[in-house]
Chains A and B, each alone.
Chain A
Amino acid sequence: MSSEQSIIETHSLNLYYGKFHALKDINLAIQAQRITALIGPSGCGKSTLVRVFNRMNDLIESVRVTGEVLVEGRNIFAPETDLITLRKEVGMVFQRPNPFPLSIRDNLTFGLEIHSDYSKQNHTEIIEQSLKDVLLWNDMKDRLSQTALNLSLEQQQRLCIARVLAMKPQIILMDEPCSALDPIATLRIEELMQELKKNYTIVIVTHNMQQAARASDYTAFLYLGELIEFGETKHIFSAPEQKKTEEYITGRFG
């Protein structure tokens, strides 16, 4: 692991929702251009953790964070952090596909319009490339003006990934990205993740342990807000170090 380069690091990260201590002293290094899966039972803090990485939790009023989170070496909780830039660098894909009620084209250009550093003439190129990256280009190129809401769920989720890619992020966070999809669509999204990791770092939250085993390079197991174990996925699923991890992944829990 030491030979690889970490793109996200947390140092003694603690997060509180009011008095509730949701993340406890998390120290984690996420490797660049790898897929890292966060697993653990409901309420363990995995979604909270993934939302720390682009400060989505800021939207919740009572949140308090201590410790450090470095993205590409910069502390994202430093006062000078520009949240718009951070969320452009660290994109997010959600559980339910959530395209805007706009055309396919406008879904992809929505972010570009907001960010002044993307000039108008590049849009066509960015639209084509983002759709190609998620393997939608051939199906969509002649219907870019049609509403995105008529696409299948899988296509909608691909479009949401393309919408993130259009912003040229470094990191893509995925919070249960396949839970609304059928098994075939799920496998296709997992295949897409393998393609995307050539250029992007992916952090995925999943309830589906087989998905973590199939699709990720590294796995972090969280329980009651603590990081119990972090390591190569093949190691976690064949010979985990911690008894709690063993009990969770073999289904002997609670």
Chain B
Amino acid sequence: MERHFQKELESLKTSLVKMGSVVEESIATAIRSLMEKKTELAAKVIETDKRIDALEIEIDNAIIDLLALQQPVASDLRFILAALKINNDLERIGDHAVNIAQAAQILCTIPNADLLDEIPKMAEITRNMLKDAIDSFILLDPAKARIVLTTDDQIDNLNRTVIKTVIDQLKSNKQTAECGLEISLISRNMERVADLATNIAEEVIFHTQARVVKHHAEDRR
């Protein structure tokens, strides 16, 4: 017997997958605007954020209805709780895409701005983490989710390197303050996107395996 409720769960998942693809695209576009110095792409990211915000509210409302009307339990309950958090995480990632796009717009006006070697590396790793996190949710694949968890350290290390390099450059007058500030902001925003991708992966593990892995909960046991 397939219940009407299961169709509603499927529909919630479809909405989240849609939200995920819009956010993934937004991050990709923000990074392209930075790398290719295209301000029109940055403007597109800022415009897309309105759509992401609207999707977030739509999904939140669907979740409130499901909780109020269906009293879900067990894996259904865990799925809906995971969906609630992933929805929030995706919306935040959309905001970071806007931050990166706005920094890109400023950097476009600075001739010969030095992006450092680390920024393109971070961009690639962050995009892959986000893609894997969203894929792990679509496929309900905890093994894929765990790959995201293990990758986060790389981004943290690159972020620290960027900040240190920018400080060194500023001290030795090899970088303008304006450019250095934007570079470190971009690095910081990418690091946050990686953290949120990690959160999504953690929620996938919670939903599929009923295990809490955030804050190194497994190591502490």
Q: Once the chains bind, are A250 and B1 in contact (CB under 8 Å)?
A: no
Given contacts A238-B210, A239-B210, contact A249 B1 (CB under 8 A): no
Question: Does A210 belong to the interface (CB within 8 Å)?
Answer: yes
Question: Does B75 belong to the interface (CB within 8 Å)?
Answer: yes
Question: Does A79 belong to the interface (CB within 8 Å)?
Answer: no
Residues of A within 8 A of B71 (CB): 210
Please measure, in the bound complex, the distance between the C-alpha atom of A210 and the C-alpha atom of B72, giving whole angstroms: 10
Please classify how large the interface on chain A is, using the bins under 10, 10 to 19, 20 to 34, 35 or more: 10 to 19
What are 20 of the A-B contact pairs (CB < 8 Å)? Answer: A209-B73, A210-B71, A213-B73, A237-B73, A237-B77, A238-B77, A238-B78, A238-B210, A239-B74, A239-B75, A240-B74, A245-B74, A246-B74, A250-B72, A250-B73, A250-B74, A250-B75, A251-B5, A252-B6, A254-B1
Q: Once the chains bind, are A237 and B74 in contact (CB under 8 Å)?
A: yes
Give the residue name and chain of the A residue nearest to B75 (CB): A246
Q: Once the chains bind, are A238 and B1 in contact (CB under 8 Å)?
A: no
- Shortest Cβ distance from residue A158 to the other chain B in the assembled complex, whole angstroms: 27
User: Interface residue count for B (Cβ, 8 Å)?
Assistant: 13
- Shortest Cβ distance from residue B10 to the other chain A in the assembled complex, whole angstroms: 13
Please measure, in the bound complex, the distance between the C-alpha atom of A210 and the C-alpha atom of B71, giving whole angstroms: 8
Residues of A within 8 A of B72 (CB): 250
Question: Does A253 belong to the interface (CB within 8 Å)?
Answer: yes
Nearest first, the 7 A-B pairs at minimum CB distance are: A239-B210, A237-B73, A246-B74, A249-B73, A250-B76, A250-B74, A240-B74
Known pairs A246-B75, A254-B1 / 18 extra A-B pairs, C-beta < 8 Å: A209-B73, A210-B71, A213-B73, A237-B73, A237-B77, A238-B73, A238-B74, A238-B78, A238-B210, A239-B75, A239-B210, A240-B74, A246-B74, A251-B1, A251-B3, A251-B5, A252-B1, A252-B6
Please measure, in the bound complex, the distance between the C-alpha atom of A48 and the C-alpha atom of B174, giving whole angstroms: 84
Q: Once the chains bind, are A249 and B74 in contact (CB under 8 Å)?
A: yes
Give the residue name and chain of the A residue nearest to B73 (CB): A237
Contact with B along A3-15 (1 / 0, CB 8 A): 0000000000000
Residues of A within 8 A of B1 (CB): 251-254
Interface residues of B in 42-100 (CB under 8 A from A): 71-78
Please measure, in the bound complex, the distance between the C-alpha atom of A251 and the C-alpha atom of B71, giving whole angstroms: 12
- Shortest Cβ distance from residue A229 to the other chain B in the assembled complex, whole angstroms: 11
Q: Once the chains bind, are B73 and A252 in contact (CB under 8 Å)?
A: no
